[in-house]
Amino acid sequence: MTAPHRLSLDAAALVANWRALSALGGDAACGAAVKADGYGLGARDVVTRLAAAGCRDVFVSTWAEARALADVAARTGVTLSVLHGIRADDGERPAMARPVLNTPAQVARWKALGGGACDVMVDTGMNRLGLSPEDATGDLLDGVAVETLMSHLACADEDAAMNRRQRDLFASLAGRTGARRMSLANSAGIALGADYAFDLTRPGIALYGGAPSPALAAVIRPVATIEAEVLQTRLVPAGQVVGYNATWTAPVDTWVAIVNLGYADGYWRGFSDRGTAWAGDAALRVIGRVSMDLVALDLGDADVGEGDWVRFDPDLPRAAAASGMSQYELLTGLGHRLERRWV
Ligand SMILES: *Cc1c(COP(=O)(O)O)cnc(C)c1O
């Protein structure tokens, strides 16, 4: 039994992307953000492959995500940094996992638990998570073993003056917190230049084929491709309509494929009349509204029939532009029905 749709995942591209990002970071170690189940692709498979390539530092959001990776981490020797820190009731904390402390209360909680190895997030202007620079450099962190001091860039995917301000403020904290290493750059931050890499980089989206800035588009390969089976084909006579709300009208007699994919699979309504799929070398336009479980394609001259498979455009910058969704949303929203198949 096979599902009528799947997510084809290119393991070689994943590893090549990690290597390319690692090279861009120069001497810095290159980690991997695998929160939200590896941005929807499957964190266990991602970590297994990147660990084999040499990745040692893995970032998740929650302890539940860390627990789901505990055996993989133990087997591969990677450490897990839990970005949301430590709450009062987080449950079991696997060995190899440490919190990224974000608030004075989290620091106090960690000290009460013995103050073992941890990371610390410092806020350099994004005003999302993190200690203030004053707290990070005062006596608050006395008695905790800080492995990595981190901060996060607000505008790394833009050419913004704020990037330099955040970098310089972060650099000014060097040697003032007891941290063994410093880490600032996400995927887009890596592309800003070597002076953003510090000791450790934390790419996420670009590992998975996303190009948050044009500089990365040249080196990053797509990883995830949705493939789906044609359920029915029909010749729609000129003047007839296709799909909900009859938004598309056939200008001429048109062969149309109805495909096993919809917004319940993360193929969003934003692709209505805008998405692209491929049958061999033939580009097929999405026509009409994307339904929950179905989407219609204009077959043009392509020789496609019931039971054939088509693949949807895996180029994330292009898909984001077409759908109006972010590259991050397109990946993390990929539905659970799609069988993840590493090739
Ligand atoms: C998600 C995340 C990253 C990775 O960001 P990308 O833009 O996906 O590369 C890095 N650091 C932190 C703190 C994050 O939350």
Residue range 47-78, pLDDT digits in tens:
999 999 999 999 999 999 999 999 999 999 99
Dist. CA 235 → ligand 1 center (Å): 47
Strand segments (E) across the chain: 5-9, 29-30, 32-33, 57-60, 79-82, 97-101, 117-121, 145-150, 181-183, 200-201, 224-236, 241-242, 248-249, 254-259, 276-279, 282-287, 295-298, 309-312, 339-342
Dist. CA 141 → ligand 1 center (Å): 24
Atom of ligand 1 minimally distant from the CA of 61: 15
Pocket test for ligand 1, best of 14, 100, 202 (most atoms within 8 A of CB): 202
Whether 20 is in the pocket of ligand 1, judged by its Cβ within 6 Å, is no
pLDDT of residue 252: 98
pLDDT of residue 14: 98
Q: Closest residue (by CA) to atom 6 of ligand 1? A: 204
Beta strands 241-242; 276-279: pairing state? unpaired
pLDDT of residue 2: 85
Whether 187 is in the pocket of ligand 1, judged by its Cβ within 6 Å, is yes
pLDDT of residue 267: 98
Threshold 0.85, pTM exceeds? yes
In sequence order, the 6+-apart residues with CB closer than 8 A to the CB of 179 are 120, 146, 147, 148, 149
pLDDT of residue 1: 77
Give the tens place of pLDDT for each residue, 139-186: 999 999 999 999 999 999 999 999 999 999 999 999 999 999 999 999
pLDDT of residue 26: 97
Which residue type sits at 111?
Answer: K
Give the tens place of pLDDT for each residue, 262-271: 999 999 999 9
pLDDT at 88 over 80: yes
Give the tens place of pLDDT for each residue, 27-44: 999 999 999 999 999 999
Active-site positions read 35, 244
Dist. CA 202 → ligand 1 center (Å): 6
Whether 183 is in the pocket of ligand 1, judged by its Cβ within 6 Å, is no
Dist. CA 309 → ligand 1 center (Å): 34
Atom of ligand 1 minimally distant from the CA of 205: 8
Q: Closest residue (by CA) to atom 13 of ligand 1? A: 152
Whether 83 is in the pocket of ligand 1, judged by its Cβ within 6 Å, is yes
Which residue type sits at 201?
Answer: T
User: Span 235-253, mean pLDDT?
Assistant: 98
pLDDT of residue 199: 98
Chain centre distance of CA 40: 7
Whether 200 is in the pocket of ligand 1, judged by its Cβ within 6 Å, is no
